[in-house]
């Protein structure tokens, strides 16, 4: 993608498993994803995700482990 067509603004999105992703802000949210409450440059959004997504395990796995069902 050349610089003229690269997205200028991004947003952080989160799915039901509390996994984060970046999406160009001009695009509609895909099914299963919600707005993560942060928009900005790709670098700013990446920094936000790095700061806030501290446990990479899916929510279902974290719940199972908390209930003693995981190893």
Q: CATH number, domain at 45?
A: 3.90.820.10
Is there a domain that residue 1 lies in?
no
Q: pLDDT for 56-71, tens place per residue?
A: 999 999 999 999 865 5
Residue 23 φ/ψ, nearest 5 degrees:
-140, 135
CA distance 23 to 69: 33
State the pLDDT at residue 70. Answer: 55
| Closest to 60 (Cα-Cα) out of 15, 17, 14 | 17
Rounded to whole angstroms, the Cα distance separating 10 from 46 reads: 9
Is the pTM of the predicted complex or chain greater than 0.95?
Answer: no
Classify residue 55: in a domain, yes or no: yes
- Whole domain around residue 42: which residue ranges? 10-66
26: in domain: yes
Question: Would 5 be classed as within a structural domain?
Answer: no
Domain count, the chain: 1
Q: How do residues 10-52 score in pLDDT, each as one tens digit?
A: 999 999 999 999 999 999 999 999 999 999 999 999 999 999 9
Tell me which residue has tokens 């942060």.
38
């Amino acid at each position: 993608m050349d610089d003229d067509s690269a997205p200028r603004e991004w947003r952080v999105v989160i799915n039901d498993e509390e996994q984060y992703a970046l999406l160009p802000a001009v695009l509609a949210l895909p099914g299963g994803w919600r707005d993560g409450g942060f928009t900005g440059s790709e670098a700013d959004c990446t920094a936000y995700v790095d700061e806030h997504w501290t446990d990479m395990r899916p929510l279902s796995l974290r719940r199972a482990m908390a209930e003693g069902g995981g190893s």
